[in-house]
Amino acid sequence: MWSSRRRFRARDELAFHRDRLIEGFVADGMDRKAAERRVFLEFGNTAALEEASRDVRGRWLNDFVKDGSYALRALRRNPAFATVAVLSLALAIGANTAIFSLVNAVLLRPLPIHEPDRLVQITRLTPEGRPANVSYPLFEHLRDHVQAISGAFAHASLRASILIDGEQEFAAADIVTGDYFNVLGLAPGAGRLLGPADDVLSSAVPAAVISDGYWQRRFNRSPSAIGRTFTTRDRVFTIVGVMPATFRSVRVGTTPDLVLPMVLTISDSQRTEPTNNSLKMLARLKPGATVAQVSAEGQTLWRTFIEPLAAKVPGGLRAEVRDRRVGALPSPDGINDFRSDLSEPLLILMGLVVFILLLAAVNLSGLLVAKAAARQREISIRLAIGAGRGRLVRQFLTESFVLACIGGAMGLALAAWLSTGLTALFLNGRDLDLSVGPDWRVLTFTAAVALTVCILAGLVPALQAIRVNLNPALKRVRATGHGRLGRALVMTQVAISMVLVVGATLFVGTLVKLYAVERGFDGNGVVAVYIRSTGPFPDERGAALVADLVARLRVLPGVESASAAQVLPLSGNDWTRGIELPADAIRPGDSSTAFNAVTPGYFTTLGTSLLAGRDFDARDTASAQPVAIVNKSFARYFFGTAPAVGRRVTSLKVPYVIVGVVGDAMYEDLRKGFRQTMYIPSAQREGEQQPPSYKYLVRVASGDPARLGPTIARLVGETDPALQMTDAVTYATLVDRSIPAERILATLGGVFGVLALVTAGIGMFALLAFQVARRTNELGVRMVLGATRGSMVGLVLRDVGWMLVPGIALGAGAALMVTDLARGVLFGLTPTDPTVFAVAALVLTVAALAAAWLPARRAARVDPLVALRHE
């Protein structure tokens, strides 16, 4: 290599000079030996001279390569150290990368479209400022009148039952208006994409586009797919093209098979009713236009849209006019449901793993310090013969750099595996696809993380090593400074662990408190069944099918009771309806309530108690007097202490007579408490009776209710061939699914907490064991002088105390500063709950005592005679 030849020559040059000097002296008549000695003295330190000559030449890279290969050789020689260091790094970097991959996929990554930064969502906004849906007429109004946009489209997702090649199958479909692909700026993967001409009611040949995935799966990428037809919603569609492979949908996480023109797929009421809000609207900003401009225009247009409408409607659409606004939101990532659901827990997790990373850095630092202590003599010698201190620091950093590189590469591999599990945890049973593959952002992040660890971990031992006092080190006197530094590092580990354990305690505590919330129903032994159909049902047949299905479920062996409901408690759906109370109620007039339609036996199946009156039964048919059951909160809120049974409530102009009062049950969210709820019999529900819109509940007498799954699936198909069971989940699972963020935080927070405890425990154990071994001699002397075994243990425990107490205090201080960020996800606990901090401190103390157990025992068992001969 050029560099080594160059150094060789630099040495040659000096040798030449030296030899010429010697020859000169010899020529002057000096004895050769004496001449050599004289020249040697005159030349002084050749090593330093060589180093000096070399430093002039800027050979940093060369040193780096050399130090790198030296570090690799050192690692191979010390496999135990290498394994521990690399594994702990890989774990920390892997966890960081995995969570960052999710953050990237959920919060950072824009859609793979042309100039995603100019994509905005124009939408109705809830009073809290969250996006709601828009209706088709509102979409048209905004599309045609907002000046600051160059184009807009509406979007909805649905599962369609399609008939293709004589086979009936379900396909996920995006239904979009004509400018979808124009606004996104996409080019077709094959054929052509949809345009405004396809999105008209009079379309002679209804066109559809398929996704690259569907093209592969269904047609094996055959070009003949274009021109094929399928039937859905009584219309024959012709496939005209394939979307590019890079693009799936404007709704993040969905993987549609088909894209259909909107006006050909939505119902007449969806197309024409100005308040049928079921669509999302996205638009592209004109160059130079801002989101604020679109917001301002949208709000003005909203007023011109809603106020004339409200004037015509009896109720005046009060809530719409008063509470709703229209605004624009930047949407480079399209319609992202994950953002609102997951961003908080994700950012909290990101914060937690940063502490894990710090812990790994401190851990590695400790290992490197110990290793450097073993090399202290070598380093002292190198310093004594003139090695530069900067040069040694670079060597230490190179060593930790090599470790960080290996750890980073392994971490990246580990992250790929971890993210799969994490994604499943985050999707929480939802049928969505979150691609978390590494892109340049993830790779940059991992590199930055690895580099930070390398510098954090490498600097401490490097600075420690070169601060050495040469004399005692060379004389083989044991260094004492290492003990103090080691203790500081363990104390730091305790502090970081404290933060993580406080976090874990908060999250686990939150979960425990959520599970302890009184729900008003008993889900044990209950399975919830979801079904779907291949086509619409006529109303009458639909109602009969619901009753038939419930009747068949009820007589299955081992089943105690069965029923159906439109909305299940804690299932993520809710149904609110406007009602009108009579003049004699406490709160007469217009109001709203949580609403549900259920079959007889629903309350028995869910274990909600009947407090007054009766349950629905066979008398409550579609033609009979409309009846209702209300919950306790409803009765108390509207009627006070007066009996509710016999009173009237009107909804959608139907006057219902209350026939029963039931206990409160938790519907929306475990955090939100009970709402006033009104139930009507499913048989009396007006409008379409679609069996799939009901959820079926089955309570078993004993055992795991999930075992009935296959039986129920068969039974559903037997009841009607057009029905299919999609899911049968135990109620426990359903409840779990209602608190995904809390469960993730408790699980991962707990894992991180335990990881931190183990790391800090091992660090402390190693340090104490080393101290006891080092002080064997001294301990022996103490024993001879009359110290008791108890005082030996006391010595070790004092060491523990010196690391534990400041560590816990420091960690508690740090935790106090950061836990407030998690306030939003906590339940029943405050971020500064003293009990939580006390529990965390206790857990750490127990872990520390466990770590001290063996060293303390060893100290107590020191045999004075053996100890004095030690060394």
Partner 1 sequence: MGAAAPKSDLLQGTLDVLILKVVALGPIHGYAIAQRLQQMSGAVLQVQQGSLYPALHRLEKRKWLKAEWAASETGRDARFYTLTRLGRTQLDEQRANWTRLSTAITGVLGTAK
Contact positions toward partner 1, by CB under 8 A? 9-10, 12-14, 16-17, 19-21, 42-44, 48-49, 51-53, 55-58, 388-391
Q: Do residues 486 and 766 touch, judged by C-beta distance below 8 A?
A: no
Distance (Å, whole) CA 398 – CA 587: 76
* Minimum distance of partner 1 from residue 386's CB (angstroms): 8
* Nearest-approach distance from CB 119 to partner 1, in angstroms: 55
We find the least distance from the C-beta atom of residue 510 to partner 1, in angstroms, to be: 56
Cα 469 to Cα 35: distance, rounded to the nearest angstrom: 35
Cβ of residue 5: shortest distance to partner 1, in angstroms? 11
- Minimum distance from residue 63 beta carbon to partner 1 (Å): 13
Q: Which own/partner contact pairs does 415-421 have at CB distance under 8 Å and 24+ positions apart?
A: 415/93, 415/94, 415/95, 415/96, 415/97, 415/98, 415/101, 415/442, 415/446, 418/94, 418/95, 418/98, 419/98, 419/101, 419/102
Q: Smallest Cα–Cα separation from 547: which of 604, 613, 602?
A: 602
Helix (H) or strand (E) holding 3, with range, is helix 2-27
- Residue with Cβ nearer partner 1 (16 or 417): 16
Q: Which two three-digit tokens encode residue 500?
A: 């993580």
Contacts 24+ apart (CB under 8 A), 424-430: 425/740, 425/743, 425/744, 425/747, 426/102, 426/338, 426/342, 426/346, 426/740, 426/744, 428/737, 428/740, 429/729, 429/733, 429/737
User: Quick one: 58 or 288, whose CB is closer to partner 1?
Assistant: 58
Provide the minimum distance between the beta carbon of 371 and partner 1 in the complex, in angstroms, as a whole number: 23
Question: Closest CB to partner 1 among 47 and 374?
Answer: 47
Q: Which residues contact 15 (CB under 8 A, 6 or more apart)?
A: none
| Nearest distance in Å: CB 822, partner 1 | 48
Minimum Å gap between C-beta 381 and partner 1 is 15
Task: Report, in Å, the least distance between residue 11 CB and partner 1.
Answer: 11
Amino acid type, 320? E
CA distance 154 to 419: 33
Q: For residues 286 and 391, which CB has a smaller minimum distance to partner 1 in the complex? A: 391
276 versus 398: smaller Cβ distance to partner 1? 398
Nearer to partner 1, 22 or 746 (CB): 22
206: three-class secondary structure by DSSP = coil
Residue 151, strand partner residues:
284
Q: What is the closest distance, in whole angstroms, from the C-beta atom of residue 26 to partner 1 in the complex?
A: 13
Closer residue to partner 1 (CB): 58 or 166: 58
Q: What are the residues whose beta carbons fall under 8 Å from the beta carbon of 81, sequence distance 6 or more?
A: 75, 367, 371
Name 578's bridge partners: 592
Asked if residues 575 and 667 have their Cβ atoms less than 8 Å apart, the reply is: no
CB closer to partner 1 out of 61 and 555: 61
Between 395 and 571, whose beta carbon lies closer to partner 1?
A: 395
Amino acid at position 476, single letter:
R
Question: What H or E segment, with its residue span, contains residue 578?
Answer: strand 576-581
Tokens of 217: 């799966």
Distance CA 744, CA 737 (A): 11
Is the Cβ of residue 45 or residue 83 nearer to partner 1 in the bound state?
Answer: 45
**Measured from the CB atom, is 59 or 159 closer to partner 1?**
59
Alpha carbon distance 757, 755 (integer Å): 5
588 contact partners, CB below 8 Å, separation of at least 6: 581, 582
Q: In angstroms, rounded to a whole number, what is the distance separating the alpha carbons of residues 106 and 621?
A: 48
Nearer to partner 1, 9 or 869 (CB): 9
In order of 73, 316, 369, 400, 515, the CA distances from 82 in angstroms are: 11, 74, 14, 11, 44
> Is 109 within 8 Å of 102 (Cβ atoms)?
no
Distance CA 602, CA 751 (A): 40
Quick one: which of 46, 42, 60 has its CA closest to 13? Answer: 46
How would you write 393-410 as a 3-class SS string?
Answer: HHHHHHHHHHHHHHHHHH
Specify whether the backbone of 569 is left (phi greater than 0), alpha (psi in -120 to 50) or beta: beta
Nearer to partner 1, 389 or 636 (CB): 389
Of 381 and 551, which CB lies nearer to partner 1 in the complex structure?
381
> Most distant CA pair in the chain: distance in Å?
136
Please state the closest distance from residue 457 (CB atom) to partner 1, in A. Answer: 24
User: What is the closest distance, in whole angstroms, from the C-beta atom of residue 391 to partner 1 in the complex?
Assistant: 8
Give least dist CB 402 to partner 1, A.
Answer: 24
Minimum gap (Å) between residue 442 Cβ and partner 1: 41
Query: Which is closer to partner 1, CB of 14 or CB of 425?
Result: 14
Q: Which is nearer to partner 1, 6 or 648 (CB)?
A: 6
